[in-house]
Structure 1
Amino acid sequence: MAKSTKSAAKAPAKAAAKAPAQSEATAARGSDKIAKTQIIDLVADQTSLNKKQAAEAVATMLDVVVEALRDGKSVGLPGLGTFSVAKTAARTGVKPGTSERITIPAGKKVRFKVASTLKTNL
């Protein structure tokens, strides 16, 4: 029994030793998602702005984009793409679990079209 306890104790130690290497590899190739705080850090690092100013700039830019979309305008970001609002028609759907037919009302959704320069460079 003592041997199984020791080997069990060694297994987490080995996993813990590998965890930093895995996180370094993930950091080197980039993770799947960049958080707003990471964007703020990158903006601060690449400009003469401090983190507070960079946070204000990023927040303001996002607010402007959201407000333009709420007003039904499209937002073009050169080298990235274009955000636009599209109307969706009312349609009939099926309620999960009950198979009951329901009417899904008309609405709006945000669409994004990737810039051709970005698309070719991916």
Structure 2
Amino acid sequence: MLIKGNDVVNKVQFIEKISGDANISKIASARVLDAFIEAISKTLRTGDHVGLVGFGTFSVRSRSDRVGRNPQTGETIKIEKRKVPIFKAGKVFRDSCN
């Protein structure tokens, strides 16, 4: 299976791609993908970051309180501070996309 173009690849298609490339079952591929996502999520919740050399770094940043605007009414609203996940692509991965 070749993934190409500007289409969005959903989770099922991604699992099929992993399964074919790694020559493992789709069930095993789904478990691996779910475990990968869960491991990154748990690590980020503890305040640590995940660095995969050549691929990129997953981390969490804090956004401070700010004032926004409701687009429907134009009313000013306060947006509370929050933590957001960030992914910074590594050089090898960035270069492979070009």
Tell me whether the two structures share a fold, i.e. TM-score over 0.5: yes
Q: 1:51 to 1:120 in 2, by over 3 A?
A: closer
- Which runs of 5 or more structure 1 residues have no equivalent in the other structure? 1-26
- Which runs of 5 or more structure 2 residues have no equivalent in the other structure? none
Give the 5 Å matches for 1:3-18.
none
Structure 2 Cα separation of the partners of residues 82 and 45 of structure 1:
26
Given candidates 89, 93, 96, the residue that maps to 1:118 is: 93
TM superposition score normalised by structure 2: 0.79
Structure 1 ranges of 4+ moved more than 3 A: 27-31
- In the alignment, does 2:30 pair up with 1:41? no
Cross-structure match for 1:32: 7
Between the two proteins, what is the percent identity of the paired residues? Answer: 30
Aligned residues: 96
Structure 1 Cα separation of the partners of residues 21 and 73 of structure 2:
54
Cross-structure match for 1:75: 50
How far does residue 79 in structure 1 lie from its aligned partner after superposition? Answer: 2.4
How far does residue 92 in structure 1 lie from its aligned partner after superposition? Answer: 1.4
Structure 2 Cα separation of the partners of residues 57 and 71 of structure 1:
21
Give the structure, 1 or 2, with the largest relative contact order (CA under 8 Å, sep 6 or more): 2
Q: 1:41 to 1:92 in 2, by over 3 A?
A: same
Higher-Rg structure is 1
Superimposed CA distance per residue, residues 21-43 of structure 1 (whole angstroms, 9 cap, x where no aligned partner):
xxxxxx67434322221222122
More helix by share: 1
Cross-structure match for 2:84: 109
Given candidates 10, 20, 34, the residue that maps to 1:59 is: 34
More strand by share: 2
Q: Which amino acid in 1 is paired with 2:27?
A: K
Structure 2 Cα separation of the partners of residues 94 and 37 of structure 1:
37
Q: 1:29 to 1:40 in 2, by over 3 A?
A: closer
